[in-house]
Structure 1
């Protein structure tokens, strides 16, 4: 491992949002300082290599305690006896622990949207600081209620730098006592992701294809876990019945544990005989962005699928389940209303169909707003790279 910059809390590139962050951030670092080739601690190196070349970063696999029964038992007993919660993280991140980087970059900013995932990211931040590593949290979204917890607020103040990707989080962190010297507002680095245009599949109508993305995750947040699938089914039927458009179903996460292809394949099977519903195969993040960029409209649940749409100036409706969706839309358009449909509020197909119709009616206006906003957004997103480099070069 190098001793300059290590990215951590990367879950694997089968989540193409995680991939998009790694790709865009390492490209920003390399373009600003070609001597930086960061290590990326990863849950699954083999998975990453399916999608991302190791030209400007190097993937280092975390150690998996669950795969070693003896170690798992010993560490569990030790933790029970001593109360040393960081011991599990020292094992998991052993390569980084043994050779601490000067700067540790937490790219698991989504983690702070889910209170059940917070402990390990806080413990890792603490562990790295004890090793003398400076830490920076990039592209983060934090539920305002979560940061009211004293332990989370203390953790936030421990970071040497935080770049919040939307203003709801930025203001919540200020209210929690994070100093302005350590806190900045900068768009998600994935706004800078390159786009790769592959040949379009048979049946795709340029200018007349509606992109849809659906995540199994939203079933965890909806009052009725099956409502989203039913709403998407009725929306597709509405599009087919009232227009001559094509529908493209676009997965953005393909992990076994959270696979967009499961609900999307279910939808595809219902409509494939129409010849107007396509299921896009798995691709890397720039290639998926290439498909999303050529949609007339996009309706999606995965944050980075919608960032791919926004940054390509495609009118987008987000089926959101956390602060990140609301905050990003609010910063882009001045309001989240009409641009985000919270899954918690989703009760009937009528809501989604009305959301689609509004998006369709205002498509030209929305495209104009995005064309005006996105160039500046991309410039601001480059701050994610320069902030890391500044921390690396700082003498304090």
Structure 2
């Protein structure tokens, strides 16, 4: 067992995205299983300096040190404009600016792990900042692993796809969290550096909040729902008002058909326009049902505490991938609102089908309720199945540490 190594965990988002925090917690758990007393430098992208400071202050794991990665802060950011010019005339300066705070640590680190779940995709644009990360690690002769991720597809941009496939063949390991990624990459000729793992978030333990809001008494038989403002892009062509009204319609329909208490559970509480909490708050406001039957969970709970709340639901329906992972890893029957490869891949790996997924084009009140009724009808059987299956997925997530040892060994011989 390697003693006291330091790992760089780079490319992730802030903890206010509970999925990003869950990835870190699960990753740390896996590495501690295979390495003795490791420490971690988390180099993440933040929306503001205040958010970064808040995360540093609230970090409870003394072995985790947080650093910032640089990105454009606003539309007319002068520094960003200067560095975009430098990208053309002095690409090394631009590259080093992005990960400036990481550079002092890279020489003595054990490996660089690129965290983030779906960074290597077109979901948020061309993933330039992450290929830059890979290049820095390779130039510094450090193992670089795309860690517990979904990758692609890139076929909408054929020229870029040609570049990224060549790039992915250079990294030391692609630790894919679902089979759809593996299938896509193998079809494109990436075969030698792929390892099948589970999403690290499956390993994060649920923790009961010390101070659970008195208004939030989880009623037995309740339904948890997570909607995100991001879904507007896929469901209503970006029309947020239209998506808000549709989300309200879905909730009313589910409430009227099931007679169950509904908890609206945010999984991203970052500033607008990405905040699940603010979106769900606006949905709750226009939803004409008894407010005692529609409870909005406040944004103060961390990832492990949010997972505990989700784990108390009779069933769960979620848009954010890691909200559904929190539910599935707690053996809660779960409906995934699948707007990318990741949700479908994870469901196929667990259930060998997509029966508990809904595509954006199929998202309407009647169909959501039909899926909810299916989860109610088969609730006991699904729970029993998950109790057998989820330990396998958790083992796959833990195996990432074992595969990392193999990658490092092969690089050193």
Do residues 78 (structure 1) and 86 (structure 2) align? yes
1:43-74 CA distance string (max 9 Å, x none): 24324236532323211223457599775454
Change in 2 beyond 3 A, CA 1:143/1:219:
same
Q: Distance in 1 between matches of 2:70 and 2:128?
A: 18
Q: Distance in 1 between matches of 2:5 and 2:34?
A: 18
Do residues 349 (structure 1) and 358 (structure 2) align? no
1:73-97 CA distance string (max 9 Å, x none): 5433333335x2x532311212323
Which residue matches 1:172? 184
Do residues 212 (structure 1) and 220 (structure 2) align? no
1:224-244 CA distance string (max 9 Å, x none): 435543343223223332343
TM-score with structure 2 length normalisation?
0.87
1:274-315 CA distance string (max 9 Å, x none): 311111112100000000000001000000000000000111
Which of 24, 27, 36 is the equivalent residue of 2:26? 24
Once the two structures are superposed, the pairs formed by residues 342-381 of structure 1 within 5 Å of their partners are 342-346=359-363, 348-381=364-397
Q: CA deviation at 1:191?
A: 0.4
**CA RMSD across the alignment:** 2.5
Judge conservation of contact 1:203–1:246 (CA < 8 Å) in 2: no
TM-score with structure 1 length normalisation?
0.90
Q: CA deviation at 1:124?
A: 1.9
Which residue matches 2:153? 144
1:111-168 CA distance string (max 9 Å, x none): 1232613122112212221121210011211233449711111121111011110101
Change in 2 beyond 3 A, CA 1:281/1:195:
same
Q: Distance in 2 between matches of 1:203 and 1:24?
A: 27
Do residues 302 (structure 1) and 331 (structure 2) align? no
Which of 110, 116, 137 is the equivalent residue of 1:108? 116
Unaligned 5+ residue runs, structure 2?
Answer: 47-51
Unaligned 5+ residue runs, structure 1?
Answer: none
Judge conservation of contact 1:207–1:296 (CA < 8 Å) in 2: yes
1:343-391 CA distance string (max 9 Å, x none): 1333x32222222222222222211221110111111110122333444
Once the two structures are superposed, the pairs formed by residues 112-261 of structure 1 within 5 Å of their partners are 112-114=120-122, 116-146=125-155, 149-180=161-192, 182-198=193-209, 199=212, 201-202=214-215, 204-224=217-237, 225-226=239-240, 228-257=243-272, 258-261=274-277
Which residue matches 1:327? 345
Secondary structure of the structure 1 residue equivalent to 2:96: helix
